[in-house]
Structure 1
């Protein structure tokens, strides 16, 4: 293999090491998002809240597996393995680009769905306060809009943290409403998903091109060795 082929080989290997790291980060990031969301009373609310984090975790697993395949193909100089990797990488690039576009276009709708979820949790607190407590603990918030939503009620200790034995109005007034806290959480994370996804997609496209070049170089070397 000439110098250009060796260069492509090791650049592709380094790219795939980065992909392995990106895959692990996506898995960890999606898991953290899932850990901030409790179980809701109803399949529809639960699905709406968990859909994006689950997609991120699955995407992270796919990136990790394909990157590992690319590392093996590059180091062993196997054209079949490398071409298989390049096909998977191109499909992954298209899927990730579609996901980014979906998140970009449906952002407002998704945030509106989150507001509906918070409203339903608030309405259900009379029969099941545990879900509202979980929401307030997870997002460090109090009430649906503000602590004043508990005007004629005792402010639950979940408004003041997991170790609180009680919660006064003075402490509760420092916390944002859960609708605002939930919305800010998703806005922040959707932006991270969008821009991180664009960066990863660009690297995936470069890796696809390099994999095709390496596979072609390996095939040419095999043909030359047969003469």
Structure 2
């Protein structure tokens, strides 16, 4: 293999090491998102609210597995392994671009749905305060739109509005907390931006890796062909 082929081989190997790291980071990030909303609403609401984090988790696992395959193909100079990696990388690239476009175009719709989830939890809080408490503790918020929601309904401010270790919670202290709609919306707004821009960055690197993998597979195939003459 000439110098160009060796360069492509090791660049591809380094790319896949980076992909392994990206896959691990996506798995961790998706797990954090799931852990933040795992107790939100009913089972159906929880599943729908977790749809994006679950997609991120699956994407992270797929990237990790494919990257490992790419590392093996590059180091061993295996044509079959490298071409299989190229096909998987192309499919992954297209799927990731589709996910980024979906998140980008459906952002407002998704955030609106999150508002409805919080509103549903608030409506059910008179019969099941535990879910509302979990939401308030997780996002450091109070009420649906603010602490005034409890005041309007002549209800006592729950301790969860002032933190996990609060023995009691006054209206004055609770009013410093944002409403859960605002806090939940802000959390997802920031998370979606991370998914969008990180996804575009990873997709650009995946495109380069796909091109390099094709070049390496072609180089190895040509070397085998020359060796047979």
Q: TM-score, normalised by structure 1?
A: 0.98
Mark the runs of 5 or more structure 1 residues left unpaired by the alignment.
none
In structure 2, C-alpha distance between the alignment counterparts of 1:107 and 1:119, rounded to whole Å: 19
Query: 1: CA distance between counterparts of 2:41 and 2:60?
Result: 28
Corresponding residue for residue 24 of structure 2: 24
Cα distance in 2, alignment partners of residues 40 and 66 from structure 1: 33
CA distance in 1, matches of 2:58, 2:167: 39
Separation in structure 2 between the aligned mates of residue 187 and residue 42 of structure 1, nearest angstrom: 22
Q: In 2, distance between residues paired with 1:58 and 1:87?
A: 18
**1:109-128, aligned counterparts within 5 Å?**
109-128=109-128
Q: Give the Cα separation in 1 of the matches to 2:39 and 2:136.
A: 13
Q: Which residue of 1 aligns with 2:148?
A: 148
Partner residue, 1:78 = 78
What do the CA deviations read for 1:83-142 (whole angstroms, capped 9, x no partner)? 000000000000000001111111111001000000000000011000000000000000
Which residue matches 2:222?
220
2:161 aligned partner: 159
Rounded to whole Å, the distance in 2 between the matches of 1:145 and 1:175 is 10
Report the secondary structure of 2:125's partner residue.
helix
Q: CA deviation at 1:43?
A: 3.3
User: Which residue of the partner structure matches residue 39 of structure 2?
Assistant: 39
Q: Is this contact kept in 2: 1:38–1:134, CA < 8 A?
A: no
Query: What is residue 90 of structure 2 aligned with on the other side?
Result: 90
Secondary structure of 2:124's partner? helix
Shift of 1:41: 4.0
Instruction: Name the CA distance, whole Å, in 1 between partners of 2:103 and 2:41.
Output: 25
Q: CA deviation at 1:173?
A: 1.2
Where structure 2 has 5 or more consecutive residues not aligned to the other structure, the ranges are none
TM-score, normalized by length of structure 2? 0.97
